[in-house]
Structure 1
Amino acid sequence: MISPDQYLHNILIREAIPVGLYTPLNVCKTTLVPILQNWAGEYLAAITPSGSFAKGTANRSGTDIDIFVSLRPETRETLKEVYDKLHDHLKGNGFTPRRQNVSLGIKVNGFDVDVVPAKRQDSYSQDHSLYRSKADTWTKTNVARHIDIVANCGRRDEIRILKLWRNQKGLDFPSFYLELSVIEALRNTYSIGRSGNVVTCLTYLRDRFPLARVVDPANTNNILSDELTAMQKAMIASAAKNALSAASWDRVVK
């Protein structure tokens, strides 16, 4: 019999992302960067990873690759036009883009990739405006700050375990919302072992999460907790309750 901490450690080892030239991120960037450069032209500011790969919270299984396309403030098109034109450009290059809330989802060399187009608000900060297709509006955010908060939170192992749990239980739980929830659950919690920390997170999701108000730290007007309905939050809380009553850790996450 192995300890709960060792069990979770073994899962993290198994789910570690390969390093080197042929990582999924590098393979996808090699294909996508020329296409995105051609689309953006002179208005391109940068093409960078922006999700779990950049934050260090990616797992080998079930993780989308997020590519953030930053356009210069002088870009003439509206945010909706930027989003629609990128959709058409990807389609014209042989992809089948899926319209998501702020991104376009495509398959690249067998990997799921979310491409997020955004326009810098000025030349001096990393604040960006991006289009929210579900509400047909725009929002301000700062992906660089998101990456910094999560990458340096000291809770990346617990986040990776909770992401695996989310995926394996089929829960609708946006990644950044999940990451901030884990950070909040473990705030002022000192090391009680990896398994103890995961239990603390599940307890938070069961008891406090459904009514917790979670805001984008880069824009307090962007309420991340509004991304899920009360029913979706209740499903997460119920799954956490079931996990806490599980007879063994392999019933929680595999």
Structure 2
Amino acid sequence: MTGHEYLESQLDAEKFDTSEEPEIKEKRDEVEELLRGEYGSKIISFKYSGSIAKHTAIKSSKDMDLAVHFKHDSFDTLKNMYESVSDFLEKHYTIIDQRVSIGLDGLNVDVVPGRRIDTEDTTNNDVNLYRTDTETRIKTNIETHKKHIRDSSARNEIKLMKIWRERWALKFKSFAIELLVIKAMESFSGSGLDNKVKHVLQYIKDEVESINLIDPANSNNNVADIIDSSRKTLFKTTAEYCLTLLEEAGEDNDSKVAAWKQVFKDTSSDSTNNSRGTTAPAFGIIVKETQDSGRQPDRRHG
């Protein structure tokens, strides 16, 4: 087995089971019908996004986002719009108020209330969202996000970096990972999943603390700004440690595969021993448990 083949096996092991999609979709449709019944003609349309729609879902990170687009004059303020939807959903679900979305606990569904910007053209999907952390608005376009991710040639690398994030229990928004990987791969022309992922890890080490991740639907929105500096630093130091593992493996193929297993914290039965039959070195990163350590970070729309 080569490093490329090993990473292919990780993609296969973490492949999103499409048989789960109808159940998640049913829950999303239930939420949509409740919102439609409550708000009626105030709504222009519903839009669907999330990792399943963008084809970047993995077993351990899968979701459907339900964006509800209100007419421009449906609410006096964006804050009133967000709070109205949040209060309504709380009557039916256990909710998690996030920066621009409302998480529905246990459903793998997030609701994103947005107010259409164009009052004439109903086909223009630009909306303003309400940011609860800063009490400001943010312009975005869910259809532009989906096209940007789905049309990229980096979806396998995105999935692998999501697997890596989950295995190391790192807190880094999925949309930010998607944008980061696409940006990293713009400067790489090589082949092989092992070479590509190593390049992304190097890019994280070199750039993540100062990177600009520009929203493809709004050049004034730097998605990286919403990620805490401590999370960026932990992302960097974990990538740096993993690169050290790969460098120390040398050119021996079995050693390389053993190193990749360590990079992905592979707990399968043959992953604790390296090619010489000795125990693989202990991981050098300590993930500090915090009050919200088991929860995924709030996602900016996308």
* Secondary structure at the counterpart of residue 53 of structure 2: helix
What displacement does 1:24 show?
A: 4.3
User: Which residue, out of 103, 116, 136, partners 1:120?
Assistant: 116
Match of 1:46 in 2: 45
Aligned to 2:95: 97
Aligned pairs for 1:1-254 (under 5 A) are 2-19=1-18, 22-93=21-92, 95-107=93-105, 110-122=106-118, 123-246=122-245, 248-253=259-264, 254=266
- The structural deviation recorded for 1:153 is 0.6
Cα pair distance change 1:4/1:21, threshold 3 Å: closer
Say if 1:96 and 1:250 are closer, same or farther in 2 by CA, change over 3 A: same
Aligned amino acid, residue 117 of structure 2: Q
Percent identity over the alignment is 31
- The separation in 2 between residues aligned to 1:168 and 1:162, in whole angstroms, is 10
Using CA pairs under 8 Å that are at least 6 residues apart, name the structure with larger relative contact order, 1 or 2: 2
Query: Which amino acid letter does the alignment assign opposite residue 53 of structure 1?
Result: I
Query: 1:188 Cα deviation (Å)?
Result: 3.8
SS of 1:211 mapped into structure 2: coil
Residue 210 of structure 1: how far off its partner (Å): 1.3
Which consecutive residues of structure 1, in runs of 5 or more, have no partner in the other structure?
none
| Equivalent residue letter for 2:82 | Y
User: For the structure 1 residues 91 and 205, does the alpha-carbon distance in structure 2 shift closer, same or farther, using more than 3 Å as the test?
Assistant: same
Larger Rg: 2
Cα displacement string for residues 94-153 of structure 1 (whole angstroms, at most 9, x for unaligned residues): x1111110011112xx43321111111112411110000011111101111111111001
Take 1:112 and 1:159, find their aligned partners in 2: how far apart are those partners?
19
Q: Is the 2:70–2:113 contact (alpha carbons within 8 Å) kept by the matching residues of 1?
A: yes
CA 1:22–1:203: 2 relative to 1, 3 Å: closer
Q: Please name the residue that 2:276 is paired with.
A: none
Amino acid of the structure 2 residue aligned with 1:118: G
Distance 2:217 2:78 in 1: 19
For the structure 1 residues 22 and 178, does the alpha-carbon distance in structure 2 shift closer, same or farther, using more than 3 Å as the test?
Answer: closer
- In structure 1, how many angstroms separate the alpha carbons of the residues matched to 2:173 and 2:48? 17
Kept after mapping to 2: 8 A contact 1:39/1:86: no
Partners in 2 of 1:23 and 1:16 — Cα distance? 16
What is the TM-score with the length of structure 2 in the denominator?
Answer: 0.77
Q: Secondary structure at the match of 1:192?
A: coil
Distance 1:111 1:209 in 2: 31
In 2, distance between residues paired with 1:243 and 1:24?
Answer: 37
Amino acid at match of 1:176: F
Residue 191 of structure 1: how far off its partner (Å): 4.0
Kindly tell me: are residues 212 and 21 of structure 1, through their superposed partners in 2, closer, same or farther at Cα, counting changes over 3 Å?
closer
Provide the C-alpha distance between the structure 2 equivalents of 1:11 and 1:103, rounded to a whole number of angstroms. Answer: 31
Q: Is the 8 A contact 1:25 1:53 kept in 2?
A: no
Equivalent position SS for 2:159: helix
Corresponding position of 2:251: none
Residue deviations 1:159-190, cap 9 Å, x none? Answer: 01101111221222111111111011110422
Q: In 2, distance between residues paired with 1:130 and 1:190?
A: 37
Q: Equivalents in 2 of 1:132, 1:17: separation in Å?
A: 30
Could you tell me how far apart the structure 2 residues matched to 1:133 and 1:184 are? 28
For the residue of structure 1 that corresponds to 2:61, the secondary structure is coil
Q: Is the 8 A contact 2:54 2:149 kept in 1?
A: yes
The alignment partner of 2:74 has SS state of: coil
Is the contact between residue 75 and residue 81 of structure 2 (CA under 8 Å) also seen in structure 1?
no
- The 2-side partners of 1:13 and 1:24 are apart by 22
Deviation at 1:239, TM superposition (A): 0.8
Seen in structure 2, the aligned counterparts of structure 1 residues 157 and 137 have a Cα distance that, compared at 3 Å, is same
Q: Return structure 1 stretches of 4+ with deviation > 6 angstroms.
A: none
Distance 1:106 1:39, change over 3 A: same
Q: 1:127 to 1:22 in 2, by over 3 A?
A: closer
